[in-house]
Amino acid sequence: MKTLMVFDFDHTVVDDNSDTWVIRCLPGQTLPDSVKNSYRKGHWTEFMDRVMGYIGEQEVSPERVRSVMETIPFTAGMTELLTFISEHKGSVDCIVISDSNTLFIEWILQASGLRGAVDRVYTNPAEFNQRGHMEVRCHHSHGCQHCPVNLCKRQVLEQFLSEQSDQGVEYRRTFYMGDGGNDLCPTYCLRGQDVVMPRKGYSLEKLLAKLEGQEDNGASRAKVIAWSSGDEILQELKASMQS
């Protein structure tokens, strides 16, 4: 039975927010208030669609956007972790579930030479239209009251596990790595032998700490191990594979 590694992307695989990093491609590296103030809570994807529309209107080329995105730094130890995963594809599967978008993630992983480590990416679809402006759409619609309107990571993870099970693939252990509030929901479908790994000092770690000791919180079924570098995740993965 394989091990499944599930990663968030922003502030997890990469050490920044890809959606805010893209602003660096603008000449003044800032957005006008008319765009900034258009954000509504829980509707980040629609906001990013407007941001990318504005960037396109400033005649920033797709090539310029890509070159800027390829400079985003990886979190410490993450390249080594993903390299290890790519070298052990027979025993480790790896997916990304992210609130970023397809183009950003593909560009960043391809530029680093690490795309082969990731089997599937679940995120918001993005493409350039005929005018050369990037358009970003919601990943899916869902009925979860706890997640942003564009993406419920629990629903994505449960569907992935169900599809794998239908194909005869069962995982002896699942590791979930994330940092943000939207990474809490998928931890509720983890089992007792699974591990949720929140990044130290970020929202997910604090949310899990609040839930600790509460009855029926769901997330407590999985072991919680906080991390600050990919090296620590790699150590846990290696230990699990040897047990």
What SS3 string covers the chain?
CEEEEEECCECCCECCCHHHHHHHHCCCCCCCHHHHCCCCCCCHHHHHHHHHHHHHHCCCCHHHHHHHHCCCCECCCHHHHHHHHHHCCCCEEEEEEEEEEHHHHHHHHHHHCCHHHCCEEEEECEEECCCCCEEECCCCCCCCCCCCCCCCHHHHHHHHHHHHHHCCCCEEEEEEEECCHHHCHHHHHCCCCCEEEEECCCHHHHHHHHHCCCCCCCHHHCEECCECCHHHHHHHHHHHHHC
Find out whether 182 and 11 touch, Cβ atoms under 8 Å. Answer: no
Q: How far apart are CA 51 and CA 135, in angstroms?
A: 9
Copy the structure tokens of residue 36.
């900034």
Looking at the annotation, which residues are catalytic?
8, 10
